A and B are shown apart, each in its own frame.
Chain A
Amino acid sequence: MKQRTLFLFSIITFCSAFGLLKYNSLELPKHFPKPYFDFEKESLTNAKIQLGRTLFYDPILSSDNSISCASCHSPYNAFAHTDHDLSHGINDSVGFRNAPALFNLAWQKSFMWDGAVNHLDMQALAPISDSKEMNETIENIVLKLNKNPHYAHLFYAAFSDSLATGSRTLKALSQFQLTLVSCNSKYDKVKEGKTKFTSQEKKGYELFKKNCNVCHTEPMFTNYGFANNGLPVDPTLNDFGKYRLTKNSKDSLLFKIPPLRNLKYTYPYAHDGRFKKIREMLNHYTNGIHIQPSLSKELKKPIVLSSNEKSDLLCFLLTLNDSTFVFNPLNKFPQTISSGKEGK
Protein backbone atom coordinates (compact mmCIF):
# COMPACT_ATOMS: atom_id res chain seq x y z
CA MET A 1 0.00 0.00 0.00
CA LYS A 2 2.73 2.36 1.04
CA GLN A 3 4.69 1.52 -2.06
CA ARG A 4 1.72 2.14 -4.26
CA THR A 5 1.15 5.60 -2.70
CA LEU A 6 4.79 6.43 -3.23
CA PHE A 7 4.58 5.31 -6.84
CA LEU A 8 1.47 7.43 -7.48
CA PHE A 9 3.09 10.37 -5.74
CA SER A 10 6.18 10.16 -7.93
CA ILE A 11 4.04 9.92 -11.07
CA ILE A 12 2.09 13.03 -10.06
CA THR A 13 5.28 14.89 -9.19
CA PHE A 14 6.84 13.88 -12.49
CA CYS A 15 3.77 15.00 -14.47
CA SER A 16 3.43 18.34 -12.74
CA ALA A 17 7.14 18.99 -13.03
CA PHE A 18 6.93 18.20 -16.72
CA GLY A 19 3.95 20.56 -17.11
CA LEU A 20 5.79 23.32 -15.31
CA LEU A 21 8.87 22.93 -17.41
CA LYS A 22 6.90 23.04 -20.58
CA TYR A 23 5.28 26.32 -19.65
CA ASN A 24 7.49 27.97 -17.14
CA SER A 25 10.57 28.16 -19.27
CA LEU A 26 8.89 30.03 -22.14
CA GLU A 27 11.23 28.60 -24.71
CA LEU A 28 12.67 31.64 -26.39
CA PRO A 29 15.00 31.84 -29.34
CA LYS A 30 18.45 33.29 -28.77
CA HIS A 31 17.83 36.33 -30.95
CA PHE A 32 14.99 37.50 -28.64
CA PRO A 33 15.82 40.09 -25.96
CA LYS A 34 15.16 39.49 -22.26
CA PRO A 35 11.44 39.94 -21.50
CA TYR A 36 10.41 43.13 -19.71
CA PHE A 37 7.94 41.20 -17.53
CA ASP A 38 9.51 40.18 -14.24
CA PHE A 39 9.17 36.38 -14.24
CA GLU A 40 11.24 36.12 -11.06
CA LYS A 41 8.52 37.98 -9.17
CA GLU A 42 5.68 36.17 -10.86
CA SER A 43 6.62 32.78 -12.26
CA LEU A 44 4.34 30.93 -14.61
CA THR A 45 2.59 27.78 -13.44
CA ASN A 46 0.59 25.35 -15.51
CA ALA A 47 -2.47 25.62 -13.24
CA LYS A 48 -2.55 29.43 -13.39
CA ILE A 49 -2.09 29.37 -17.16
CA GLN A 50 -4.97 26.91 -17.58
CA LEU A 51 -7.20 29.02 -15.33
CA GLY A 52 -6.28 32.10 -17.35
CA ARG A 53 -6.92 30.27 -20.60
CA THR A 54 -10.37 29.19 -19.41
CA LEU A 55 -11.20 32.73 -18.30
CA PHE A 56 -9.91 34.15 -21.59
CA TYR A 57 -12.38 32.06 -23.60
CA ASP A 58 -15.30 32.34 -21.16
CA PRO A 59 -18.08 34.88 -21.85
CA ILE A 60 -18.74 34.88 -18.09
CA LEU A 61 -16.50 37.96 -18.12
CA SER A 62 -19.25 40.04 -19.79
CA SER A 63 -22.44 41.34 -18.18
CA ASP A 64 -24.82 39.18 -20.28
CA ASN A 65 -22.40 36.26 -20.65
CA SER A 66 -22.11 36.83 -24.40
CA ILE A 67 -18.62 38.22 -24.98
CA SER A 68 -15.30 36.65 -24.07
CA CYS A 69 -11.80 38.06 -24.52
CA ALA A 70 -11.53 35.76 -27.56
CA SER A 71 -14.54 37.50 -29.16
CA CYS A 72 -12.18 40.30 -30.18
CA HIS A 73 -8.89 38.42 -29.78
CA SER A 74 -9.33 35.27 -31.82
CA PRO A 75 -6.51 32.69 -31.81
CA TYR A 76 -6.93 32.17 -35.57
CA ASN A 77 -6.13 35.82 -36.12
CA ALA A 78 -3.07 35.95 -33.89
CA PHE A 79 -5.52 37.13 -31.22
CA ALA A 80 -6.70 40.15 -33.21
CA HIS A 81 -10.17 41.03 -34.51
CA THR A 82 -10.42 40.87 -38.28
CA ASP A 83 -13.08 41.94 -40.75
CA HIS A 84 -14.08 44.95 -38.67
CA ASP A 85 -12.30 48.28 -38.73
CA LEU A 86 -13.64 49.03 -35.23
CA SER A 87 -14.10 46.08 -32.91
CA HIS A 88 -17.55 45.36 -31.56
CA GLY A 89 -18.61 44.08 -28.17
CA ILE A 90 -21.76 43.57 -26.16
CA ASN A 91 -25.16 44.01 -27.93
CA ASP A 92 -23.27 44.60 -31.19
CA SER A 93 -21.98 47.90 -29.84
CA VAL A 94 -19.19 49.26 -32.00
CA GLY A 95 -16.15 50.52 -30.15
CA PHE A 96 -13.74 53.22 -31.31
CA ARG A 97 -10.58 51.27 -32.04
CA ASN A 98 -9.40 48.08 -33.69
CA ALA A 99 -8.60 45.36 -31.15
CA PRO A 100 -4.85 44.74 -31.36
CA ALA A 101 -3.25 41.33 -31.82
CA LEU A 102 -1.98 39.67 -28.65
CA PHE A 103 1.47 38.11 -28.68
CA ASN A 104 4.88 38.71 -27.16
CA LEU A 105 3.23 40.70 -24.40
CA ALA A 106 6.00 39.90 -21.91
CA TRP A 107 8.13 42.49 -23.73
CA GLN A 108 5.48 45.19 -23.79
CA LYS A 109 5.74 47.98 -21.22
CA SER A 110 2.30 49.55 -21.56
CA PHE A 111 -0.99 48.44 -23.05
CA MET A 112 -3.89 49.76 -25.15
CA TRP A 113 -3.38 51.85 -28.31
CA ASP A 114 -2.73 54.91 -26.14
CA GLY A 115 -0.72 53.21 -23.38
CA ALA A 116 -3.44 53.86 -20.78
CA VAL A 117 -2.64 50.65 -18.91
CA ASN A 118 0.70 50.22 -17.18
CA HIS A 119 0.76 46.48 -16.42
CA LEU A 120 -0.53 43.37 -18.14
CA ASP A 121 -2.36 42.31 -14.95
CA MET A 122 -4.51 45.43 -15.06
CA GLN A 123 -5.20 45.47 -18.81
CA ALA A 124 -8.26 43.19 -18.67
CA LEU A 125 -10.07 45.73 -16.49
CA ALA A 126 -10.37 48.10 -19.45
CA PRO A 127 -12.39 45.84 -21.82
CA ILE A 128 -14.28 44.27 -18.90
CA SER A 129 -15.58 47.66 -17.77
CA ASP A 130 -16.07 49.36 -21.14
CA SER A 131 -19.81 49.72 -21.79
CA LYS A 132 -19.27 48.83 -25.48
CA GLU A 133 -17.02 45.85 -24.84
CA MET A 134 -17.98 43.59 -21.91
CA ASN A 135 -19.94 46.11 -19.82
CA GLU A 136 -19.18 44.22 -16.62
CA THR A 137 -17.40 44.90 -13.33
CA ILE A 138 -14.60 42.86 -11.81
CA GLU A 139 -16.65 42.80 -8.58
CA ASN A 140 -19.53 41.00 -10.31
CA ILE A 141 -17.22 38.67 -12.23
CA VAL A 142 -15.74 37.52 -8.94
CA LEU A 143 -19.27 36.91 -7.57
CA LYS A 144 -20.15 34.85 -10.67
CA LEU A 145 -16.91 32.86 -10.52
CA ASN A 146 -17.39 32.07 -6.84
CA LYS A 147 -20.81 30.54 -7.59
CA ASN A 148 -19.32 28.24 -10.22
CA PRO A 149 -17.97 24.91 -8.88
CA HIS A 150 -15.80 24.36 -11.94
CA TYR A 151 -13.92 27.58 -11.22
CA ALA A 152 -13.56 26.61 -7.56
CA HIS A 153 -11.47 23.64 -8.77
CA LEU A 154 -9.43 25.75 -11.17
CA PHE A 155 -8.74 28.46 -8.56
CA TYR A 156 -7.81 25.82 -6.01
CA ALA A 157 -5.37 24.21 -8.43
CA ALA A 158 -3.84 27.59 -9.24
CA PHE A 159 -3.77 29.31 -5.85
CA SER A 160 -4.28 26.47 -3.28
CA ASP A 161 -7.50 28.24 -2.36
CA SER A 162 -10.80 27.92 -4.19
CA LEU A 163 -11.78 31.56 -3.63
CA ALA A 164 -11.83 33.74 -6.74
CA THR A 165 -10.58 37.28 -6.11
CA GLY A 166 -10.00 40.20 -8.44
CA SER A 167 -6.23 39.99 -8.29
CA ARG A 168 -6.18 36.19 -8.83
CA THR A 169 -8.53 36.47 -11.80
CA LEU A 170 -6.39 39.18 -13.37
CA LYS A 171 -3.10 37.41 -12.66
CA ALA A 172 -4.36 34.18 -14.23
CA LEU A 173 -5.44 36.06 -17.36
CA SER A 174 -1.95 37.59 -17.47
CA GLN A 175 -0.28 34.21 -17.15
CA PHE A 176 -2.14 32.78 -20.12
CA GLN A 177 -1.42 35.84 -22.23
CA LEU A 178 2.29 35.71 -21.32
CA THR A 179 2.47 32.27 -22.94
CA LEU A 180 1.35 33.73 -26.27
CA VAL A 181 4.81 33.94 -27.75
CA SER A 182 5.24 34.23 -31.49
CA CYS A 183 8.82 33.27 -32.42
CA ASN A 184 8.52 30.69 -35.19
CA SER A 185 8.22 32.74 -38.34
CA LYS A 186 10.46 32.27 -41.34
CA TYR A 187 12.37 35.37 -40.18
CA ASP A 188 13.09 33.60 -36.86
CA LYS A 189 14.24 30.47 -38.66
CA VAL A 190 16.59 32.55 -40.80
CA LYS A 191 17.99 34.15 -37.62
CA GLU A 192 18.51 30.69 -36.17
CA GLY A 193 20.34 29.62 -39.34
CA LYS A 194 17.73 26.99 -40.19
CA THR A 195 16.73 28.47 -43.53
CA LYS A 196 17.53 31.38 -45.87
CA PHE A 197 15.62 34.32 -47.28
CA THR A 198 14.83 34.28 -51.00
CA SER A 199 16.53 37.03 -52.95
CA GLN A 200 13.35 39.11 -52.97
CA GLU A 201 12.88 38.68 -49.22
CA LYS A 202 16.49 39.71 -48.74
CA LYS A 203 15.97 42.88 -50.78
CA GLY A 204 12.86 43.58 -48.73
CA TYR A 205 14.79 43.03 -45.50
CA GLU A 206 17.40 45.60 -46.56
CA LEU A 207 14.64 48.12 -47.38
CA PHE A 208 13.02 47.33 -44.05
CA LYS A 209 16.20 47.99 -42.09
CA LYS A 210 16.68 51.26 -43.94
CA ASN A 211 13.13 52.61 -43.69
CA CYS A 212 11.17 50.91 -40.90
CA ASN A 213 13.45 49.42 -38.28
CA VAL A 214 13.83 52.53 -36.08
CA CYS A 215 10.24 52.20 -34.88
CA HIS A 216 9.37 48.62 -35.84
CA THR A 217 12.64 47.37 -34.41
CA GLU A 218 13.60 43.75 -35.02
CA PRO A 219 13.34 41.10 -33.67
CA MET A 220 10.10 42.14 -31.92
CA PHE A 221 9.25 44.50 -34.81
CA THR A 222 8.29 47.30 -32.50
CA ASN A 223 10.32 49.47 -30.13
CA TYR A 224 7.27 49.45 -27.81
CA GLY A 225 7.06 53.23 -28.09
CA PHE A 226 4.33 55.61 -29.25
CA ALA A 227 4.35 57.73 -32.38
CA ASN A 228 2.30 59.92 -34.65
CA ASN A 229 2.67 58.11 -37.96
CA GLY A 230 1.01 60.82 -40.02
CA LEU A 231 -2.52 59.48 -40.19
CA PRO A 232 -5.07 62.29 -40.56
CA VAL A 233 -7.67 62.36 -37.79
CA ASP A 234 -10.88 60.54 -38.65
CA PRO A 235 -13.48 63.26 -37.91
CA THR A 236 -16.11 60.60 -37.09
CA LEU A 237 -13.93 59.39 -34.20
CA ASN A 238 -11.74 62.35 -33.17
CA ASP A 239 -9.32 59.96 -31.53
CA PHE A 240 -6.20 61.82 -30.44
CA GLY A 241 -4.44 58.80 -28.91
CA LYS A 242 -2.18 59.39 -25.95
CA TYR A 243 -3.36 63.00 -25.66
CA ARG A 244 -6.59 61.69 -24.08
CA LEU A 245 -4.54 60.68 -21.05
CA THR A 246 -1.89 63.34 -20.70
CA LYS A 247 -3.66 66.37 -22.20
CA ASN A 248 -0.20 67.31 -23.43
CA SER A 249 -0.12 68.58 -27.03
CA LYS A 250 3.16 66.69 -27.62
CA ASP A 251 1.14 63.49 -27.19
CA SER A 252 -1.52 64.45 -29.69
CA LEU A 253 -2.15 61.59 -32.16
CA LEU A 254 0.47 59.33 -30.61
CA PHE A 255 -0.48 55.67 -30.81
CA LYS A 256 1.34 52.50 -29.84
CA ILE A 257 3.77 51.28 -32.48
CA PRO A 258 2.37 47.83 -33.27
CA PRO A 259 4.58 44.80 -33.88
CA LEU A 260 4.63 43.71 -37.52
CA ARG A 261 4.54 39.99 -36.89
CA ASN A 262 1.55 37.99 -38.17
CA LEU A 263 0.20 40.73 -40.46
CA LYS A 264 -1.35 38.03 -42.65
CA TYR A 265 -3.76 37.19 -39.85
CA THR A 266 -4.44 40.57 -38.27
CA TYR A 267 -6.03 42.80 -40.94
CA PRO A 268 -7.29 45.50 -40.97
CA TYR A 269 -4.43 47.76 -39.90
CA ALA A 270 -3.89 50.95 -37.85
CA HIS A 271 -5.59 51.89 -34.58
CA ASP A 272 -8.91 52.47 -36.32
CA GLY A 273 -8.53 49.65 -38.83
CA ARG A 274 -8.64 52.09 -41.74
CA PHE A 275 -6.36 50.02 -44.02
CA LYS A 276 -7.56 46.65 -45.25
CA LYS A 277 -4.33 45.70 -47.00
CA ILE A 278 -0.67 45.90 -46.07
CA ARG A 279 0.03 47.64 -49.37
CA GLU A 280 -2.39 50.45 -48.43
CA MET A 281 -0.37 50.93 -45.24
CA LEU A 282 2.86 51.07 -47.28
CA ASN A 283 1.28 53.59 -49.64
CA HIS A 284 0.38 55.71 -46.63
CA TYR A 285 4.04 55.85 -45.60
CA THR A 286 5.22 56.87 -49.08
CA ASN A 287 2.37 59.11 -50.19
CA GLY A 288 -0.11 59.75 -47.42
CA ILE A 289 1.82 61.31 -44.53
CA HIS A 290 -0.20 64.12 -43.01
CA ILE A 291 2.13 66.75 -41.58
CA GLN A 292 1.22 67.62 -38.00
CA PRO A 293 3.34 69.19 -35.23
CA SER A 294 3.66 65.90 -33.34
CA LEU A 295 4.59 63.87 -36.45
CA SER A 296 7.30 61.33 -35.72
CA LYS A 297 10.70 62.79 -36.68
CA GLU A 298 11.48 59.63 -38.65
CA LEU A 299 8.62 60.46 -41.01
CA LYS A 300 9.45 64.13 -41.60
CA LYS A 301 11.75 63.14 -44.47
CA PRO A 302 9.62 61.36 -47.07
CA ILE A 303 10.06 57.62 -47.52
CA VAL A 304 10.57 56.90 -51.21
CA LEU A 305 9.85 53.40 -52.48
CA SER A 306 9.16 52.26 -56.03
CA SER A 307 6.32 49.86 -56.72
CA ASN A 308 8.83 47.00 -57.06
CA GLU A 309 10.50 47.96 -53.81
CA LYS A 310 7.12 47.90 -52.08
CA SER A 311 6.61 44.37 -53.40
CA ASP A 312 10.03 43.38 -52.03
CA LEU A 313 9.24 44.92 -48.67
CA LEU A 314 5.87 43.17 -48.59
CA CYS A 315 7.61 39.91 -49.43
CA PHE A 316 9.88 40.39 -46.39
CA LEU A 317 6.96 41.32 -44.13
CA LEU A 318 5.29 38.03 -45.04
CA THR A 319 8.27 36.19 -43.53
CA LEU A 320 7.06 37.49 -40.15
CA ASN A 321 3.92 35.36 -40.24
CA ASP A 322 4.01 32.60 -37.68
CA SER A 323 1.56 29.81 -38.44
CA THR A 324 2.96 27.63 -35.63
CA PHE A 325 1.80 30.30 -33.21
CA VAL A 326 -1.57 30.88 -34.85
CA PHE A 327 -2.41 27.18 -34.93
CA ASN A 328 -0.86 26.21 -31.61
CA PRO A 329 -3.45 23.97 -29.89
CA LEU A 330 -2.17 25.03 -26.44
CA ASN A 331 -3.49 28.54 -27.08
CA LYS A 332 -6.92 27.53 -28.25
CA PHE A 333 -10.36 27.22 -26.72
CA PRO A 334 -10.13 24.80 -23.80
CA GLN A 335 -12.74 22.06 -23.72
CA THR A 336 -13.49 22.77 -20.07
CA ILE A 337 -15.64 25.88 -20.01
CA SER A 338 -18.62 24.98 -17.88
CA SER A 339 -21.02 27.68 -19.00
CA GLY A 340 -21.20 25.80 -22.31
CA LYS A 341 -20.99 28.90 -24.50
CA GLU A 342 -18.15 29.63 -26.80
CA GLY A 343 -17.19 33.24 -27.40
CA LYS A 344 -18.59 34.80 -30.55
Chain B
Amino acid sequence: MRTFFVWITMLTFVSLIHQNSIAQNFVKVEAIFQNEPLELGKSYFFNTEKDCVKIEILKFYLSDFSLWNNKVLVFKSTQLPVLIDLKKPESKILPLELPNNLTFNTIKFNLGIDSLTNVSGAFGGDLDPTNGMYWTWQSGYINFKIEGTSSISPARKNIFQYHLGGYLAPYYGLREIKLPVSNPETIHIILNLSSFFEYVASKEIYQVMSPNQKAMYVADEIAKLFSVQL
Protein backbone atom coordinates (compact mmCIF):
# COMPACT_ATOMS: atom_id res chain seq x y z
CA MET B 1 0.00 0.00 0.00
CA ARG B 2 2.80 2.38 0.92
CA THR B 3 4.57 1.69 -2.34
CA PHE B 4 1.34 2.53 -4.13
CA PHE B 5 1.23 5.99 -2.51
CA VAL B 6 4.86 6.61 -3.28
CA TRP B 7 4.13 5.79 -6.90
CA ILE B 8 1.12 8.09 -7.06
CA THR B 9 3.12 10.98 -5.54
CA MET B 10 5.95 10.40 -7.97
CA LEU B 11 3.59 10.25 -10.93
CA THR B 12 1.86 13.49 -9.91
CA PHE B 13 5.24 15.17 -9.50
CA VAL B 14 6.48 13.96 -12.87
CA SER B 15 3.30 15.01 -14.64
CA LEU B 16 3.51 18.51 -13.08
CA ILE B 17 7.06 18.98 -14.33
CA HIS B 18 5.95 17.62 -17.66
CA GLN B 19 3.12 20.16 -17.97
CA ASN B 20 5.39 23.05 -17.13
CA SER B 21 7.91 22.30 -19.80
CA ILE B 22 5.50 21.89 -22.70
CA ALA B 23 4.28 24.70 -24.88
CA GLN B 24 1.13 24.39 -26.93
CA ASN B 25 2.05 25.15 -30.50
CA PHE B 26 -0.01 24.70 -33.63
CA VAL B 27 0.46 23.80 -37.20
CA LYS B 28 -2.18 25.53 -39.28
CA VAL B 29 -2.79 24.24 -42.78
CA GLU B 30 -4.46 26.47 -45.35
CA ALA B 31 -5.23 25.88 -49.02
CA ILE B 32 -5.25 29.04 -51.08
CA PHE B 33 -6.28 29.90 -54.60
CA GLN B 34 -5.29 33.20 -56.18
CA ASN B 35 -3.98 34.50 -52.87
CA GLU B 36 -7.21 33.93 -50.93
CA PRO B 37 -8.29 31.00 -48.77
CA LEU B 38 -9.75 28.35 -51.07
CA GLU B 39 -13.53 28.04 -50.97
CA LEU B 40 -14.99 24.71 -52.04
CA GLY B 41 -17.62 25.04 -54.76
CA LYS B 42 -16.53 28.53 -55.81
CA SER B 43 -15.72 29.22 -59.47
CA TYR B 44 -12.25 30.56 -60.02
CA PHE B 45 -11.22 32.01 -63.37
CA PHE B 46 -7.66 31.85 -64.63
CA ASN B 47 -5.54 31.93 -67.81
CA THR B 48 -6.74 35.52 -68.37
CA GLU B 49 -10.33 34.54 -67.49
CA LYS B 50 -10.36 31.91 -70.27
CA ASP B 51 -10.57 28.90 -67.96
CA CYS B 52 -12.66 28.17 -64.91
CA VAL B 53 -12.15 25.70 -62.06
CA LYS B 54 -14.41 24.65 -59.21
CA ILE B 55 -12.96 22.45 -56.45
CA GLU B 56 -15.49 20.28 -54.62
CA ILE B 57 -13.27 17.96 -52.56
CA LEU B 58 -9.81 18.52 -51.14
CA LYS B 59 -8.46 16.02 -48.63
CA PHE B 60 -4.91 14.94 -47.91
CA TYR B 61 -2.77 13.23 -45.31
CA LEU B 62 0.17 14.87 -43.59
CA SER B 63 2.43 12.70 -41.45
CA ASP B 64 5.75 12.48 -39.58
CA PHE B 65 6.24 16.10 -38.61
CA SER B 66 9.74 16.93 -37.42
CA LEU B 67 11.56 20.14 -36.59
CA TRP B 68 15.18 20.81 -37.37
CA ASN B 69 17.69 23.42 -36.39
CA ASN B 70 20.48 23.72 -38.95
CA LYS B 71 20.25 20.06 -39.93
CA VAL B 72 19.97 18.89 -36.32
CA LEU B 73 16.76 17.12 -35.42
CA VAL B 74 15.25 18.87 -32.40
CA PHE B 75 11.74 17.42 -32.36
CA LYS B 76 9.96 14.45 -33.89
CA SER B 77 6.19 14.05 -33.62
CA THR B 78 4.87 10.64 -32.68
CA GLN B 79 1.39 11.49 -33.92
CA LEU B 80 -0.33 9.22 -36.41
CA PRO B 81 -0.95 10.71 -39.85
CA VAL B 82 -3.57 13.45 -39.87
CA LEU B 83 -6.24 13.95 -42.49
CA ILE B 84 -6.77 17.52 -43.65
CA ASP B 85 -10.26 17.86 -45.09
CA LEU B 86 -11.32 21.27 -46.38
CA LYS B 87 -14.91 20.42 -45.49
CA LYS B 88 -13.87 20.18 -41.84
CA PRO B 89 -12.26 23.46 -40.77
CA GLU B 90 -11.17 21.93 -37.44
CA SER B 91 -8.98 19.46 -39.31
CA LYS B 92 -6.76 22.32 -40.50
CA ILE B 93 -5.42 23.10 -37.02
CA LEU B 94 -3.01 20.55 -35.64
CA PRO B 95 -1.84 20.90 -32.07
CA LEU B 96 1.87 20.28 -31.63
CA GLU B 97 3.22 19.80 -28.14
CA LEU B 98 6.75 21.14 -28.18
CA PRO B 99 9.20 21.47 -25.33
CA ASN B 100 9.66 25.10 -24.23
CA ASN B 101 12.38 27.27 -25.75
CA LEU B 102 12.94 25.01 -28.69
CA THR B 103 14.93 26.62 -31.48
CA PHE B 104 14.31 25.45 -35.01
CA ASN B 105 14.45 26.81 -38.52
CA THR B 106 13.13 23.95 -40.66
CA ILE B 107 10.00 21.81 -40.66
CA LYS B 108 9.83 18.46 -42.40
CA PHE B 109 6.72 16.40 -42.98
CA ASN B 110 5.37 13.87 -45.39
CA LEU B 111 2.52 14.32 -47.78
CA GLY B 112 0.86 10.90 -47.57
CA ILE B 113 1.06 7.61 -45.72
CA ASP B 114 4.23 5.52 -45.40
CA SER B 115 4.55 1.95 -46.70
CA LEU B 116 4.56 0.30 -43.28
CA THR B 117 1.24 1.87 -42.27
CA ASN B 118 -0.12 0.89 -45.66
CA VAL B 119 0.53 -2.80 -45.04
CA SER B 120 -0.47 -2.93 -41.36
CA GLY B 121 -4.22 -3.52 -41.61
CA ALA B 122 -7.09 -1.35 -40.43
CA PHE B 123 -6.65 1.77 -38.30
CA GLY B 124 -9.27 4.02 -36.75
CA GLY B 125 -9.58 7.81 -36.50
CA ASP B 126 -8.14 9.77 -39.41
CA LEU B 127 -6.94 6.50 -40.96
CA ASP B 128 -10.35 4.79 -40.82
CA PRO B 129 -11.38 3.56 -44.28
CA THR B 130 -14.73 5.35 -43.88
CA ASN B 131 -12.89 8.63 -44.58
CA GLY B 132 -12.96 7.80 -48.28
CA MET B 133 -9.18 7.83 -48.43
CA TYR B 134 -8.59 4.11 -48.92
CA TRP B 135 -8.76 2.27 -52.22
CA THR B 136 -11.02 -0.75 -52.32
CA TRP B 137 -10.08 -2.53 -55.55
CA GLN B 138 -6.52 -2.79 -54.30
CA SER B 139 -4.87 -1.98 -51.00
CA GLY B 140 -3.46 1.42 -50.24
CA TYR B 141 -4.29 4.81 -48.86
CA ILE B 142 -5.09 7.74 -51.09
CA ASN B 143 -2.53 10.32 -49.98
CA PHE B 144 -4.07 13.29 -51.72
CA LYS B 145 -7.53 13.66 -53.22
CA ILE B 146 -8.83 16.62 -55.18
CA GLU B 147 -11.99 16.58 -57.27
CA GLY B 148 -14.13 19.11 -59.05
CA THR B 149 -14.83 20.51 -62.48
CA SER B 150 -12.57 22.45 -64.78
CA SER B 151 -12.96 23.77 -68.29
CA ILE B 152 -9.54 22.21 -69.01
CA SER B 153 -10.84 18.69 -68.46
CA PRO B 154 -12.11 16.91 -71.58
CA ALA B 155 -14.00 14.42 -69.41
CA ARG B 156 -17.77 14.11 -69.20
CA LYS B 157 -19.18 17.15 -67.40
CA ASN B 158 -15.62 18.55 -67.27
CA ILE B 159 -14.89 16.51 -64.18
CA PHE B 160 -11.34 16.23 -62.88
CA GLN B 161 -10.28 13.69 -60.26
CA TYR B 162 -6.86 13.17 -58.78
CA HIS B 163 -6.56 10.32 -56.26
CA LEU B 164 -2.85 10.11 -55.58
CA GLY B 165 -1.38 7.20 -53.68
CA GLY B 166 0.87 4.16 -54.01
CA TYR B 167 3.00 2.47 -51.39
CA LEU B 168 5.19 0.18 -53.48
CA ALA B 169 8.17 0.97 -55.70
CA PRO B 170 8.32 2.15 -58.42
CA TYR B 171 5.07 3.95 -57.63
CA TYR B 172 5.66 5.11 -54.09
CA GLY B 173 3.39 8.12 -53.70
CA LEU B 174 4.60 9.61 -50.41
CA ARG B 175 6.46 12.93 -50.77
CA GLU B 176 8.78 14.42 -48.20
CA ILE B 177 8.42 18.17 -47.80
CA LYS B 178 11.05 20.37 -46.18
CA LEU B 179 10.39 24.06 -45.57
CA PRO B 180 12.14 26.90 -43.76
CA VAL B 181 10.29 28.32 -40.75
CA SER B 182 10.88 31.20 -38.42
CA ASN B 183 10.09 30.35 -34.83
CA PRO B 184 6.50 31.38 -34.17
CA GLU B 185 3.93 29.64 -32.01
CA THR B 186 1.92 28.79 -35.07
CA ILE B 187 3.51 27.29 -38.13
CA HIS B 188 1.33 28.29 -41.03
CA ILE B 189 1.57 25.82 -43.90
CA ILE B 190 0.14 27.02 -47.21
CA LEU B 191 -0.92 24.88 -50.16
CA ASN B 192 -1.20 27.15 -53.16
CA LEU B 193 -3.36 25.43 -55.76
CA SER B 194 -3.58 28.17 -58.44
CA SER B 195 -0.40 27.11 -60.19
CA PHE B 196 -1.52 23.48 -60.19
CA PHE B 197 -4.42 24.37 -62.46
CA GLU B 198 -2.34 26.80 -64.49
CA TYR B 199 0.61 24.48 -65.15
CA VAL B 200 0.00 20.84 -64.11
CA ALA B 201 -3.64 19.97 -64.79
CA SER B 202 -4.13 19.64 -68.52
CA LYS B 203 -6.30 17.95 -71.08
CA GLU B 204 -3.90 15.00 -70.90
CA ILE B 205 -3.76 14.87 -67.12
CA TYR B 206 -7.20 15.34 -65.60
CA GLN B 207 -7.95 11.95 -64.13
CA VAL B 208 -5.38 10.06 -62.07
CA MET B 209 -6.83 7.35 -59.86
CA SER B 210 -4.23 4.63 -59.48
CA PRO B 211 -0.56 4.43 -58.57
CA ASN B 212 1.22 4.93 -61.88
CA GLN B 213 3.71 7.18 -63.66
CA LYS B 214 1.24 10.06 -63.99
CA ALA B 215 0.40 9.83 -60.28
CA MET B 216 4.11 10.11 -59.43
CA TYR B 217 4.45 13.21 -61.62
CA VAL B 218 1.37 14.86 -60.09
CA ALA B 219 2.54 14.00 -56.55
CA ASP B 220 5.92 15.63 -57.32
CA GLU B 221 4.15 18.76 -58.52
CA ILE B 222 1.72 18.92 -55.59
CA ALA B 223 4.62 18.63 -53.14
CA LYS B 224 6.14 21.77 -54.68
CA LEU B 225 3.01 23.79 -53.90
CA PHE B 226 3.54 23.78 -50.15
CA SER B 227 5.18 26.70 -48.39
CA VAL B 228 5.33 28.16 -44.89
CA GLN B 229 4.20 31.71 -44.24
CA LEU B 230 7.22 33.42 -42.69
Contact = CB atoms under 8 A, between A and B. Distances in A.
Given A116-B138, A118-B139, A245-B138, A167 B119 contact: no
Contacts, number: 65
Interface stretch (B8-16, B19-27, B124-132, B183-191): B124-132
Given A138-B130, A247-B212, A167 B123 contact: yes
14 contacts: A117-B139, A118-B119, A119-B139, A122-B129, A122-B134, A125-B136, A165-B124, A166-B124, A167-B122, A167-B127, A167-B128, A170-B121, A170-B122, A171-B121
Contact of A128 (B127, B132, B136, B140): B136
Contacts of B129: 122, 125, 138, 166-167, 170
Contacts of A42: 121
A234 interface: no
B137 interface: yes
Interface of A: 42, 116-122, 125-126, 128-130, 138-139, 142, 165-168, 170-171, 174, 245, 247
Interface of B: 118-124, 127-132, 134, 136-140, 212
Contacts of A116: 137-139
Contacts of B121: 42, 119-122, 170-171, 174
Given A166-B130, A167-B128, A122 B212 contact: no
Contacts of B127: 167
Contacts of B120: 119
Contact of B136 (A126, A142, A168): A126
Contacts of A171: 121-122
B204 to A, nearest CB: 18
Given A120-B121, A121-B121, A121-B122, A165 B137 contact: no
A158 to B, nearest CB: 13
